[in-house]
Amino acid sequence: MGPVRPEVDRIPVVCWEETLAWDEHAKKIAREVMGMMCEGLGLDTLEDMLMVCHYYEPCPEPDRTFGIVDQTDAAVLTVLIQDMIGGLKVKKEEDGKEVWVDVKPIPGALVINVGELLQTTAMEKGKGLARRWAVEFAEGPEAADVPDPLGFAGRSSLDLDDANQSRQKKEAEATWKSQKAWEVAQSPFKNLMMMGFMMWMAGNTVHLFSIGITFSALWQPISALQSVGKVFEPYKDPRVDTLAPKLLFIALNLAAMGLGVWKLNTLGLLPTHASDWVSSLAPAQEVEFASGGFPIY
């Protein structure tokens, strides 16, 4: 179906699955055949597909021209999705004479042309079905009725209104990405305040809750710092400056990690004395000790 496959809705519903399956199978066979031919010739195979276009020289008398000369398919099989303009004619034998018959477009129908190569493979003699295209001057179609060719990307340029709308859409998208980037950059501040409150609730004694809170306070900022690029990847845009949000994100996570280190120190789990490194040295003496109690009278 050409280098660029048409949209599925342009293929008749009754056979779109079979048509797509046939297209994939035909391309697979073509790759295998071309691969063997290239291997036999000592050439490298390519995965590219080409569209063959025919250029017809300008006619010296266009006013007397009604179409092009008849031709046959030299390939294997041609599946044609007709538009509603018409103009296709095929040669048919009636009463011993060859006449040209109009092929009227039918919505949802496919035109199948059997090529000469398929006829030769099937051991049939003769040429393929002759066809030609003619212009109907009596019922000329409007310019809007002519569909784009398969694989055509659309208009080569946009109208001014479309260009303005596209630019406004891109600017709005860039503004949205910038706002989201700053929201993500400020998100560690909420966790910082919550973690500080939980550390205060845990107290300064070593127990399961205080150790878990301290470990979480250290692990969360470390994980966030390791994935800074991944966090801001959705907001990457040439029109958006993500450097400042990244710096704020890093600074807040470093502050959260510093809070966790401070909590380790208050729990006495940081090696801040020489005796923590050398077992033969005596541990540091407590300068002051305070405890609670109640008076007895």
Q: pLDDT digits over 50-97, tens only?
A: 666 666 566 666 556 555 567 777 777 777 777 677 778 888 878 878
Residues 263 and 186 in one domain: yes
Give the tokens for residue 239. 């029109």
Extract the tokens encoding 204: 């300064």
Can you give the pLDDT at residue 292? 60
Predicted local confidence at residue 128, as pLDDT: 67
pLDDT on residue 287: 66
Residue 15 domain-assigned? yes
Say how many domains are in the chain: 3
Asked whether the predicted pLDDT for residue 256 surpasses 60, the reply is: yes
Q: Is the pLDDT of residue 183 over 80?
A: yes
What average pLDDT does the chain have?
73
105 part of a folded domain: yes
3-state secondary structure at position 91: strand
Virtual torsion, Cα 117, 122, 128, 129, nearest 10 deg: -140
Instruction: For residue 71, give the nearest of 94, 89, 47, 59 by alpha carbon.
Output: 89
Could you give the CA distance from residue 6 to residue 19 in angstroms, rounded to a whole number? 11
Residue 165 lies in a domain: no
Are 32 and 86 part of one and the same domain?
no
- If asked whether residues 106 and 187 sit together in one domain, one would say no
Quote the crossing angle between the two packed helices 160-202 and 243-266, to the nearest 10°.
10
Which region, left, alpha or beta, applies to residue 268 given φ > 0 means left and ψ of -120 to 50 means alpha?
left
Q: Is 199 exposed, middle or buried (0-12, 13-18, 19+ CB in 10 A)?
A: buried
pLDDT over 90, % of the chain: 0
Whether residue 166 is contained in a domain is answered as no
Residue 161 pLDDT > 80: no
**164 within domain boundaries:** no
Domain contains 292: no
Instruction: Pick the more confident residue, 168 or 98.
Output: 98
Compute φ and ψ for 239, nearest 5 degrees. -90, 0
pLDDT higher than 60, residue 248: yes
For residue 145, the one-letter residue type is: D
Banded pLDDT at 156 (limits 50, 70, 90): very low
* Residue 222 domain-assigned (yes or no): yes
Is 158 inside a domain boundary?
Answer: no
pLDDT at 67: 55
Residues near 136 by Cβ (< 8 Å), separated by ≥ 6? Answer: 86, 87
Do residues 183 and 237 share a domain?
yes
Domain range for 35 is 1-53
Alpha-carbon distance of 107 to 14, in angstroms, equals 12
- Determine the average pLDDT of the residues in 136-160: 52
Query: CA angle, corner 111, sides to 106 and 112, nearest 5?
Result: 160
* 65 contacts: CB under 8 Å, gap ≥ 6: 59, 135
Same domain membership, residue 268 and residue 190: yes
pTM beyond 0.75, yes or no: no
Asked if 252 and 200 sit in the same domain, the reply is yes
Residue 157 pLDDT: 43
Q: What is the pLDDT of residue 60?
A: 66
Residue 295's pLDDT is 66
**Is residue 79 located within the same domain as residue 36?**
no
Q: Torsion angle, CA of 84/90/94/98, rounded to 10 degrees?
A: 140
